[in-house]
């Protein structure tokens, strides 16, 4: 997981330095599962809408509608993460993997939301990810004969419905 945090923080700090000429603040929360309780490792990051100038004397506000272009973030993050994976492999920390060239050619997705409206909204959002359990009682539909039936949201169906 340290490689994920490192790639994300390096990407965001680089964008803060090159695009805002400052240092970003970052809060990152690791999320490890999806709705069906399958592995889905990703980070939720909270970033202020601006940066502290490199000389630490002033606040540099970002544009109101977005912080950084997500396509550029996606490409830089992909490069940093795959480079870190390759370095870990070369140091004997990871087994060999097939398809790394294909991963470099695949578009990766960085998702960014517009700025939150208030500090309370930020705390509510962060609380959903820091105090959530993988399986809450309200998702248990039935327990019978040693089997548990769960409810979940199928994101593929939701995406198809939006098209």
**DSSP assignment of the chain:** -HHHHHHHHHHHHHHIIIIISEE---EEEEEEE-TTS-EEEEEEEE--SEEEETTSS-EEEPPSS-SS-HHHHHHHHHHHHHHHHHHHHHTTSS---S-HHHHHHSPP----PPPPSSHHHHHHHHHHHHS--SS-GGGEEEEETTEEEE----HHHHHHHH-
Residue at 48 is within a domain: yes
Which stretches of the chain score pLDDT less than 50? 158-163
Residue at 159 is within a domain: no
> Which domain does 92 fall in, by range?
2-135
Residue at 162 is within a domain: no
What is the pLDDT, as a whole number, of residue 98?
A: 66
What is the pLDDT, as a whole number, of residue 52?
A: 96
What is the pLDDT, as a whole number, of residue 22?
A: 96
What is the pLDDT, as a whole number, of residue 49?
A: 86
Residue at 154 is within a domain: no
Looking at the structure of the chain, the number of domains it has is 1
**Residues with Cβ < 8 Å from 127, sequence gap 6 or more?**
none
What is the pLDDT, as a whole number, of residue 132?
A: 65
Residue at 144 is within a domain: no
Residue at 151 is within a domain: no
């Amino acid at each position: 997981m340290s490689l994920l945090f490192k790639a994300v923080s390096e990407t965001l700090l680089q964008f803060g330095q090159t695009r805002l000429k400052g240092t970003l603040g970052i809060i990152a929360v690791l999320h490890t599962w999806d709705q069906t309780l399958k592995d889905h490792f990703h980070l939720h990051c909270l970033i202020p809408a601006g940066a502290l100038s490199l000389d630490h004397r002033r606040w540099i506000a970002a544009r109101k509608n977005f912080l950084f272009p997500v396509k550029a973030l996606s490409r830089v993050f992909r490069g940093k993460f795959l480079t870190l994976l390759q370095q870990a492999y070369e140091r004997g920390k990871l087994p060999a993997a097939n398809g790394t060239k294909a991963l470099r050619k695949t578009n990766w997705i960085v998702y960014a939301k517009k700025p939150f409206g208030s500090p309370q909204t930020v705390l509510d959002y962060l609380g959903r990810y820091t105090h959530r359990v993988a399986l809450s009682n309200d998702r248990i539909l039935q327990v019978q004969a040693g089997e548990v039936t769960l409810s979940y949201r199928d994101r593929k169906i939701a995406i198809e419905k939006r098209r």
